[in-house]
């Protein structure tokens, strides 16, 4: 039940990030709800398809759709309040990133996948919604231009995989993993952290 609640938290967080971006791009109500839905649900659908948990849980449990639509509706009605946060799209996106990477890895491990494969599933689950969101508004996906993005998801998923290998209690490990992914993503934006590039490389070379 706690894992389901955490999954719902990730859906809501990603839904808000999609809804706020839609409002920022001046989309109408339908556009806001659509962008919130695809951002909130695409990553989980990718996860479930890859581990053959079919049909995806977003289609089996209407609560996921309700939470995603509620996130979009909240953005449409209260975007001025949410805008008071510092970089609200990034903050909610970072929260969704940590949650989906951790839950995705947990679910993949529970289905019997190898830890490395489970980490990959976690990362894909975390970045999937953001990729679809950015493409729909004609942006280069953040995973391709902001380097501490997939890396934050990788950290969260790796914490879960290590905890599973050491047989630590799954819930505390998952909470720590979510926090780790969230904090790394936020700090990377605040301090402009970047992954190292090849020595001597130059733009266009």
- Is 204 or 128 the better-scoring residue by pLDDT? 128
Of the pLDDT bands very low, low, confident and very high (cuts 50, 70, 90), residue 142 is confident
Over 50: is that where the pLDDT of 13 sits?
yes
Q: Is residue 197, in this structure, part of any structural domain at all?
A: no
Q: Is residue 203, in this structure, part of any structural domain at all?
A: no
What tens digit of pLDDT does each residue of 170-204 get? 999 999 999 999 999 999 999 988 877 767 665 55
Crossing angle, helix 150-165 and helix 170-190, to 10 degrees? Answer: 160
Q: Is residue 198, in this structure, part of any structural domain at all?
A: no
Q: Enter the tokens of residue 197.
A: 């590039």
Number of domains in the chain: 1
User: For the chain, what percent of residues have pLDDT higher than 90?
Assistant: 78
Predicted pLDDT of residue 117: 96
Q: Is residue 183, in this structure, part of any structural domain at all?
A: yes
Q: Is residue 21, in this structure, part of any structural domain at all?
A: yes
Q: How far apart are CA 139 and CA 133, in angstroms?
A: 9
Over 70: is that where the pLDDT of 128 sits?
yes
Give the residue numbers spanning the domain of 159: 2-190
Q: How far apart are CA 188 and CA 13, in angstroms?
A: 19
Over 50: is that where the pLDDT of 205 sits?
no
- Is 119 or 139 the better-scoring residue by pLDDT? 119
User: For the chain, what percent of residues have pLDDT higher than 70?
Assistant: 96
Q: Is residue 124, in this structure, part of any structural domain at all?
A: yes
Q: How far apart are CA 142 and CA 146, in angstroms?
A: 5
Q: Is residue 19, in this structure, part of any structural domain at all?
A: yes
Query: Is residue 22 a contact partner of residue 35, using CB atoms and an 8 Å limit?
Result: yes
Question: Taking the model in full, what pTM does it have?
Answer: 0.91
Over 90: is that where the pLDDT of 101 sits?
yes
Q: Is residue 131, in this structure, part of any structural domain at all?
A: yes
Q: What is the mean pLDDT of residues 69-77?
A: 95
What tens digit of pLDDT does each residue of 110-119 get? 999 999 999 9
Over 50: is that where the pLDDT of 28 sits?
yes
Mean residue pLDDT across the chain: 91
């Amino acid at each position: 039940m706690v894992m389901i609640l955490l999954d719902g938290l990730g859906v809501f967080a990603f839904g808000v990030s999609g809804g706020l971006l839609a409002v920022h791009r001046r989309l109408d109500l339908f556009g806001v709800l659509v962008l919130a839905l695809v951002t909130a649900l695409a990553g989980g659908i990718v996860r479930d398809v890859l581990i053959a948990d079919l049909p995806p849980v977003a289609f089996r449990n209407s609560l996921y759709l309700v939470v995603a639509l509620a996130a979009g509706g909240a953005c449409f009605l209260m975007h001025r309040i949410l805008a008071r946060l510092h970089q609200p799209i990034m903050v909610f996106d970072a929260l969704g990133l940590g949650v989906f990477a951790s839950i995705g890895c947990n679910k993949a491990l529970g289905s019997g996948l190898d830890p490395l494969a489970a980490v990959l599933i976690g990362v894909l689950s975390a970045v999937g919604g953001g990729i679809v969101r950015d493409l729909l508004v004609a942006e280069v996906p953040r995973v391709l231009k902001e380097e501490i993005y997939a890396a934050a998801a990788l950290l969260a998923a790796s914490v879960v995989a290590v905890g599973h290998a050491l047989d630590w209690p799954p819930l505390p490990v998952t909470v720590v993993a979510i926090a780790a992914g969230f904090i790394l993503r936020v700090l990377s934006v605040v301090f402009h952290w970047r992954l190292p590039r090849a020595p001597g490389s130059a733009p266009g070379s």
